């Protein structure tokens, strides 16, 4: 049998069967991650960090003291925001170490399995109130071991010149968003309506399913690449002046993108509290009346990614053909403006809202529509920018830096979230929107200087 026939036998719908394995694995992993994240702030603010409960949490006094040494006295809500910010930030920072250990010591497969098991244990630990911080540590380490090594295996399924690679990552991204869409509907509903621990346990079950799919599908996955010693000429060549200029430009952009995540990631933090306490969630369908679970609003973002992505791809393609498309930096700046506009919408919702009154859920629908358009102008555009512009010898490092911007961003976002309980809600949304628009203006201000470096048609 020829090599082509062998390849065809292993293919499924025109792609290697390994892509199906990784698609399903990542879908269930993201289900578990976003399921737990959809509950964490509500769980902490409404239950676990209340004085009568917090004293039973192992390490609570030490963690609170350490955070207060930096940020000052913290009531339950600001403390919850800080904990959430550090958790999500570290969850996106540790993959740098996880990828390094896989490349140099353990291999991608072993690290991915170890990470999956650590996460499963962490999710089930969340069902035990005393183990909050131990559970978060397991989850952070697990994500660091799992996430970079599953993602890199997608690319390793294809030859370097295989045109299917780009489509494969698009398919893989769909899996991520299916998991993100289902997570708040399942875990959020169980946790918010039945009991917190049921929601966390559901996230743990999702992670076990992901682990089983991955282990059973190992025969379809690429072999580990360990201790790479033969580097290409491009990877060993000294950095040129253009290379150094590109690195500095990318670092400037990454520094500003920190503010995007600080404002955008309020969705699973303070925005959930707005939905819980200040949004009219009553639903009357005539034959059925009930209350919309708070976490369901978090399903709007992945749902809108499904809806908007093909439309934006067509729009950008048409603009490119007519040579009327926005520059790379203009797209990034537009993402910030969308976050600012989304928060401006919530300023209008909160303006003169009586203390006992509830705002229409349509405000949140509008918010998510606007900020999702912003996300699609930043996340994929930034990844493409790094992959195109970073010199080959530092490409992996610069990609790691791009993802690592989430760490300071979410720590800053946690600090900003602390103002939720002290500022009037309209002022809080105005603060978040102002930070976004100022950072967006700073990105746009770089356009005349860096456009020639960033855009292919200007170099």
190 & 137 share domain: yes
Beta strands in 191-311 (DSSP E): 282-284, 289-291
What's the confidence (pLDDT) of residue 362? 95
115 & 159 share domain: yes
Residue among 371, 382, 434 at smallest CA distance from 404: 382
What's the confidence (pLDDT) of residue 237? 67
Question: How is residue 242 written in tokens?
Answer: 């253009």
What's the confidence (pLDDT) of residue 401? 83
Of 181, 199, 225, the last residue of a domain is 225
69 & 181 share domain: yes
Helix (H) / strand (E) element for 11: namely: strand 11-12
Task: Establish if 234 belongs to a structural domain.
Answer: no
199 & 57 share domain: yes
218 & 296 share domain: no
Helix (H) / strand (E) element for 333: namely: helix 328-350
Over the chain (459 residues), what is each successive 10-residue block's mean pLDDT? 40 75 93 94 94 93 94 93 94 85 83 94 94 96 88 78 72 86 94 92 96 93 65 65 86 93 93 94 78 92 89 80 79 95 97 90 96 90 78 74 88 95 95 97 86 58
Task: Establish if 286 belongs to a structural domain.
Answer: no
221 & 251 share domain: no
- Helix 196-216 × helix 164-183 angle, to 10°: 150
Task: Establish if 435 belongs to a structural domain.
Answer: yes
Residues spanned by the domain of 27:
1-225
141 & 250 share domain: no
Question: How is residue 320 written in tokens?
Answer: 């490119």
53 & 166 share domain: yes
202 & 107 share domain: yes
Three-class HEC string of 108-145: HHHHHHHHHHHHHHHHHHCCCHHHHHHHHHHHHHHHHH
**CA-based diameter of the chain, in Å?**
75
193 & 268 share domain: no
What's the confidence (pLDDT) of residue 63? 95
Count the domains in the chain: 2
Whether the CB-CB separation of 147 and 141 falls below 8 Å is answered with no
Q: Collect all residues with Cβ–Cβ distance below 8 Å to 287 and sequence separation of at least 6.
A: none
Task: Establish if 231 belongs to a structural domain.
Answer: no
Distance CA 322, CA 319 (A): 5
Question: How is residue 377 written in tokens?
Answer: 């102008």
251 & 216 share domain: no
87 & 216 share domain: yes
Task: Establish if 232 belongs to a structural domain.
Answer: no
Please report, to the nearest 10 degrees, the dihedral formed by the alpha carbons of residues 32, 33, 35, 37 taken in order. 160
Task: Establish if 235 belongs to a structural domain.
Answer: no
Q: What letter would DSSP give residue 107?
A: -
Distance CA 76, CA 64 (A): 10
Of 200, 225, 250, the last residue of a domain is 225
What's the confidence (pLDDT) of residue 393? 72
């Amino acid at each position: 049998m020829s090599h082509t026939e062998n390849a065809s036998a292993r293919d499924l719908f025109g792609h290697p069967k390994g892509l199906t394995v990784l698609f399903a694995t990542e879908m269930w992993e993201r289900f578990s991650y976003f399921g737990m994240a959809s509950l964490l702030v509500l769980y902490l603010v409404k239950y676990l960090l209340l004085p009568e409960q917090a004293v039973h949490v192992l390490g609570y006094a030490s963690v609170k003291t350490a955070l207060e040494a930096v940020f000052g006295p913290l009531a339950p809500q600001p403390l919850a925001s800080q904990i959430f910010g550090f958790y999500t930030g570290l969850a996106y920072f540790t993959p740098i170490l996880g990828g390094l250990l896989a490349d140099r010591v353990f291999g991608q497969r072993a690290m991915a399995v170890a990470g999956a098991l650590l996460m499963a244990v962490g999710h089930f630990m969340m069902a035990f109130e005393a183990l909050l911080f131990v559970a978060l540590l397991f989850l952070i380490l697990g994500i660091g071991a799992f996430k970079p090594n599953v993602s890199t295996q997608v690319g390793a399924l294809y030859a370097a010149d295989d045109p299917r690679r780009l489509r494969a990552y698009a398919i893989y991204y769909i899996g991520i968003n299916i998991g993100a869409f289902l997570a708040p509907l399942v875990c959020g509903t169980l946790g918010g309506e039945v009991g917190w621990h049921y929601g966390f346990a559901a996230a743990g079950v999702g992670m076990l399913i992901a682990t089983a799919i991955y282990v059973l599908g190992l025969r379809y996955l690429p072999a580990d690449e360990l201790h790479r010693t033969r580097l290409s000429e491009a990877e060993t060549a000294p950095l040129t002046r253009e290379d150094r200029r590109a690195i500095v430009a990318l670092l400037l952009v990454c520094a500003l993108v920190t503010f995007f995540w600080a404002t955008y990631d309020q969705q699973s933090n303070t925005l959930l509290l707005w939905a819980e306490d200040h949004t009219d969630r009553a639903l009357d369908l005539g034959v059925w009346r009930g209350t919309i679970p708070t976490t369901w609003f978090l399903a709007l973002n992945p749902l809108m990614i499904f809806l908007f992505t093909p439309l934006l791809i067509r729009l950008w393609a048409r603009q490119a053909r007519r040579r009327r498309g926005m520059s790379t930096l203009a797209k990034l700046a537009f993402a910030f403006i969308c976050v600012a506009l989304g928060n401006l919408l919530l300023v209008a919702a909160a303006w003169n809202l009586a203390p006992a009154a509830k705002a229409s859920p349509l405000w949140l629908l509008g918010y998510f529509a606007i900020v999702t358009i912003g996300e699609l102008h930043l996340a994929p555009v930034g990844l493409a920018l790094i992959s195109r512009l970073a010199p080959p010898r530092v490409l992996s490092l610069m990609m790691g830096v791009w993802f690592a911007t989430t760490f300071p961003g979410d720590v800053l976002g946690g600090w900003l979230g602390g103002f939720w309980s002290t500022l009037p809600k309209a002022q809080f949304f105005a603060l978040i929107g102002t930070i976004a628009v100022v950072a967006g203006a700073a990105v746009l201000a770089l356009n005349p200087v860096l456009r020639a470096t960033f855009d292919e048609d200007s170099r």
